[in-house]
Every structure is written in structure tokens, then in C-alpha cells.
């Protein structure tokens, strides 16, 4: 049977105490809801519908170019009412899987199990056993069969002692679900239309109801406040690092790394503590990341070493480069092979060819640097005239002395040498030594100033 997924994401999330709608709070760098949508898509759902409400258009707005349906639930009258909003366009012949936008750690594997263990004409709820079930809907069974779900506020003393709770995930054929939803009432302690009331209706109609237990509580945890958000973050990070370790990636401390996006690693990669990866990052074979680095949307070639305390964004390197400590690679920094970028060096929108070294205190922007170039300490490409950016082109085997300003647009020919302290404003010919310095003078009779009393 084809599968529809309806994701409930209309709730306010008051306990987040935030202007950002709950389902947009970031987990591993992406909205909570994005994780749930990913899971739905991994299941191969034919139709994904998100029921939104609180936060209005900011919620769909956070998913530009998406291919799912959005249903507005203008007033949050309960989970049953929420599902109803997504039902009119749901084909009768589909099975409907209901997920919550604030339950982001649920895996496709658990949901596959739910789908596989439930017949097309049956209803199933995903449950879990909890040490402290307070606050949750309790699963009421008669033998093996589930006969109802009773909410905390509506439960009897005996029902309150049930440890098996409703995670909220439900699977049901669309056609009867539409019928049952129409018959929901709100005569309960919270005055809400409870989705869970369809269980009793299904039982009455003779539909089989399965209760399938999730393996761990962590997977089904709902996120209501910042503390739970932080707990979910650690749980997800542990999961991501476990996957990478299984692929052979080494970590100094699996608990002290953060992956906010997709990290792809080759063989024998080693990552020291406090490395943060954002967006899409790939590390080639043997890459070594030392402590305290932020690497965002970048590709590092095999054998590259990033020493401590670097900030690398939208950049790329070839093989065996060395970066840092304390280097900044801004968008468009592209190093070929065997390039060295040392401490307090900033590189932006520039290509650096094989074997060149920029070791200390330098800014290279909007530049093309050839092979085997040595850039002395304190060199600046003056790429900005206050209005426009200009290009610097440096040939192969150039030696640039310390403290040189290269005022762009400018070209430095192959094999040229530039004397320390020069401010270069005209093109430098191949193979020549160029120096731009005023003559050194000694001022006779000069006296050191004395402090006035
Ligand atoms: C619900 C279940 C309860 C279960 C618990 C698990 C019902 C009646 N109860 O209770 O059995 O143990 O989840 O966490 O279903 N939502 C909407 N629109 C609404 C109401 C809710 O989109 O009108 C969304 C919320 O944003 C949230 C989810 O549905 O993501 C659950 O709603 P919530 O009010 O938290 O349900 P609970 O009372 O916790
Ligand atoms: Ca809840």
C-alpha cells in the first residue's frame, strides 16, 4: 500500500521560551522538523504532509523548494484535529503514518519495523516502556491487544500505574481513519480532539490494533524545552560519531566533537577534541584535525593537517596541505597540493598553487598565487580601494619579503623577488629584484621625550 506521512508541527512550544517556533529550533544545525521530514523521505513516503500553525508561514518558509504538502491548522484544538487538517488530500487507498515534528531522533529502522509488522488493514501505535510515565498517554491492553490510550489527565489510579506509554506515532489505513476522525469529540479533561480516541473506535469496528514497542526511550523523546533539546543534541551527536567510528574514523574523545550537517571521511582520519563541522564537509584519507577547529562546507584533501584553532569556510585543499595553527580560510580559499598556510594568515577567494608557503601574519584576498611561492610574514594584498575589489596575480617561484603591501590590481612575474617592507603599486617583471623603500636616515641630536611632571 502506498504510504502517506502526516507530521504534526502546529503546537506552540511555550516551554522553549523562544521567538522561534519549536519545530524550527536547531538540532545538529538543522530544524527539528527537518530531521523528521528526512526520516519520512527515507521511508519512501509517496506523500508527506506537514500540519503547521504556530509560527505561521515562518515554518514552511524555512523549507524553500520542498516537495511536501503544508496544511494550516489555524487553531490548535488537539492532535486528532491536527491530523484531520492533512486528511482531505490524503488518498483513501494509502496507509497513513503520523509523526510529531518535535520527535526528531526516531529512526527509519524503527518505523520500517512498525510498517512491516502491521497488516494493511490494521492500526498500530508505537509505544515505549518508561520508568516514569507521568504526563504521557497510557497504552491500555487486553492481553496482547491494544484496546485504548488514556491520557494522564483522564486516567484512573490503576491506569496511571501503566508503564507502557504512547509515543504519538500511529499507523492507520486512510479510509477508516477519515471516518473515525470525523466522529471525535472533545469531551475530556483538556477539551481537545484527541487522536488517541480513534483507538477505541477501531476496536469497536473490529479493526486489529497493534502496540509495537520502540527499543529505547531516547529515540522517541519529544522535545519541549531547551534542556531536552540539549539532551537530544548529545544523543544525536553520539549516534553520528558512532557511525563514523564504525567506518574507521578516529576521535580523541567521541563526546567532544559536533557535526552539524554531513561529514564524509576517508580512511585513517583522526579528529581531536572540540572540532565543529558544519554543512557539507569532506576529509580525505589520513586527514588530521587538531583541537578547536571550525570547518564549514569545505573539502580537505588526503594527508592534510589542520593545526589547532582554525576557522575554515567554503574552502578546499588538495593533498598534504598544512593549515594553522590560528589560520582563517574564508570562502573561496583554494589550496592545491603541499601548500602551507601558517599562523595568523587569512585567505579569501584565492587560489594557491602547489608547494607555496604563506606562513605568518598575512592577508591574501582575490589573488592567484603560483607554484613554489614564498610569502613573507606580514604581507598584505591590498585588494580593496574603498569601493571595488581588485585582483593580485603572483607567478611561480616568487619570493616576497616580509611586510610587503601589494596594491591591487597588480601582477608579479615568475621568479621575481620583492624586498621586505615594499609597497608595490606597479607590475613586477619576471626574475627581477624589486624594492620600494625610502632611504633610512638617522636624525642627529634627537632627544627622547621626557614625561611632564
Ligand atoms: C500526545 C498524546 C499522548 C502521548 C504524547 C507523546 C494525544 C491526545 N496524546 O500528548 O498520548 O503520550 O503525545 O508525547 O495525542 N499538535 C498539533 N496540533 C494540535 C495539538 C498538537 O500540531 O492541535 C502537535 C504538537 O505540536 C506536538 C504533537 O502534536 O508536536 C503532540 O502534541 P502535544 O500537545 O504535545 O500532545 P501531548 O499532550 O503531549
Ligand atoms: Ca508533548
The per-residue DSSP string of 40-63 comes to HHHTT-SEEEEEEBTBTTHHHHTS
Quick one: which atom of ligand 1 is closest to the CA of 78? 23
> Is 360 a residue of the active site?
yes
- Ligand located closest to 164 CA: 1
Check residue 395 and report its DSSP letter: -
What's 205's domain CATH number?
A: 3.90.550.10
Residue 74 and residue 15 in one domain: yes
**pLDDT, tens digit only, all 453 positions of the chain:** 999 999 999 998 899 999 999 999 999 999 999 999 999 999 999 999 999 999 999 999 999 999 899 999 999 999 999 999 999 999 999 999 999 999 999 999 999 999 999 999 999 999 999 999 999 999 999 998 999 999 999 999 999 999 999 999 999 999 999 999 999 999 999 999 999 999 999 999 999 999 999 999 999 999 999 999 999 999 999 999 999 999 999 999 999 999 999 999 999 999 999 999 999 999 999 999 999 999 999 999 999 999 999 999 999 999 999 999 999 999 999 999 999 999 999 999 999 999 999 999 999 999 999 999 999 999 999 999 999 999 999 999 999 999 999 999 999 999 999 999 999 999 999 999 999 999 999 999 999 999 998
Residue 16 and residue 105 in one domain: yes
Q: Give the cell for residue 355.
A: 608547494
Which one of the listed residues 54, 307, 311, 360 is annotated catalytic?
Answer: 360
Residue 183 and residue 318 in one domain: no
Residue pair 21/62 in contact (Cβ under 8 Å)? The answer is no
Rounded to two decimals, the pTM is 0.93
CA distance 21 to 413: 57
Per-residue buried b or exposed e for 95-123, using 16+ beta carbons within 10 Å of the residue's own CB? bbbbbbbbbbbbbeebbebbbeebeeebb
Range of the domain at 345: 249-434
Residue pair 305/288 in contact (Cβ under 8 Å)? The answer is yes
CA distance 111 to 196: 19
Phi, psi of 384 (to 5 degrees): -125, 125
Count of domains observed in the chain: 2
Is residue 51 in some structural domain?
yes
Q: How far is the CA of 164 from the centre of ligand 2 (A)?
A: 16
What's 262's domain CATH number?
A: 2.160.10.10
193 close to ligand 1 (CB < 6 Angstrom): no
Amino acid at each position: 500500500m502506498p504510504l502517506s506521512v502526516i507530521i504534526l508541527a502546529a503546537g506552540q512550544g511555550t516551554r522553549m521560551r523562544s521567538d522561534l517556533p519549536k519545530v524550527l529550533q536547531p538540532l545538529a544545525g538543522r530544524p527539528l522538523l527537518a530531521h523528521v521530514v528526512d526520516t519520512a523521505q527515507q521511508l519512501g513516503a509517496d506523500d508527506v504532509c506537514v500540519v503547521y500553525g504556530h509560527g505561521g508561514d515562518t515554518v514552511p518558509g524555512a523549507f524553500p523548494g520542498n516537495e511536501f504538502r503544508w496544511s494550516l491548522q489555524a487553531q490548535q484544538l488537539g492532535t486528532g484535529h491536527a491530523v484531520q487538517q492533512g486528511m482531505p488530500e490524503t488518498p483513501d487507498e494509502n496507509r497513513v503514518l503520523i509523526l510529531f515534528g518535535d520527535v526528531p531522533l526516531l529512526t527509519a529502522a524503527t518505523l520500517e519495523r512498525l510498517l512491516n509488522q502491521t497488516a494493511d488493514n490494521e492500526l498500530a501505535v508505537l509505544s515505549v516502556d518508561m520508568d516514569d510515565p507521568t504526563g504521557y498517554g497510557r497504552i491500555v491492553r487486553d492481553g496482547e491487544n491494544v484496546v485504548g490510550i488514556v491520557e494522564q489527565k483522564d486516567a484512573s489510579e490503576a491506569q496511571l500505574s501503566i508503564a507502557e506509554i504512547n509515543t504519538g506515532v500511529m499507523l492507520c489505513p486512510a479510509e477508516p481513519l477519515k471516518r473515525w476522525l470525523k466522529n471525535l469529540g472533545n469531551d475530556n479533561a483538556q477539551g481537545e480532539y484527541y487522536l488517541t480516541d480513534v483507538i477505541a473506535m477501531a476496536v469497536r469496528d473490529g479493526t486489529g490494533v497493534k502496540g509495537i514497542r520502540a527499543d529505547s526511550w531516547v529515540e522517541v523523546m519529544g522535545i519541549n524545552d531547551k534542556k531536552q533539546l540539549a539532551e537530544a543534541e548529545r544523543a544525536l551527536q553520539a549516534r553520528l560519531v558512532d557511525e563514523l567510528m564504525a567506518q574507521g574514523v578516529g576521535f580523541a574523545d567521541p563526546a567532544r566533537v559536533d557535526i552539524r550537517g554531513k561529514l564524509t571521511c576517508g580512511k585513517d582520519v583522526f579528529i581531536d577534541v572540540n572540532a565543529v563541522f558544519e554543512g557539507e564537509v569532506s576529509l580525505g584519507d589520513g586527514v588530521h584535525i587538531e583541537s578547536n577547529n571550525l570547518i564549514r562546507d569545505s573539502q580537505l584533501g588526503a594527508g592534510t593537517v589542520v593545526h589547532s584553532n582554525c576557522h575554515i569556510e567554503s574552502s578546499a585543499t588538495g593533498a598534504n596541505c598544512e593549515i594553522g595553527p590560528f589560520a582563517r580560510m574564508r570562502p573561496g580559499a583554494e589550496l592545491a597540493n603541499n601548500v602551507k598556510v601558517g599562523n595568523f594568515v587569512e585567505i579569501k577567494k584565492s587560489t594557491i598553487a602547489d608547494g607555496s608557503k604563506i606562513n605568518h601574519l598575512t592577508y591574501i584576498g582575490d589573488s592567484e598565487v603560483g607554484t613554489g611561492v614564498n610569502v613573507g610574514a606580514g604581507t598584505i594584498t591590498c585588494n580593496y580601494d574603498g569601493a571595488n575589489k581588485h585582483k593580485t596575480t603572483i607567478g611561480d617561484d616568487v619570493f616576497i619579503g616580509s611586510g610587503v603591501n601589494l596594491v591591487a590590481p597588480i601582477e608579479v612575474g615568475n621568479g621575481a623577488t620583492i624586498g621586505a617592507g615594499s609597497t608595490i603599486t606597479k607590475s613586477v617583471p619576471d626574475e627581477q629584484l624589486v624594492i620600494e623603500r625610502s632611504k633610512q636616515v638617522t636624525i642627529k641630536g634627537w632627544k627622547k621625550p621626557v614625561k611632564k611632571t
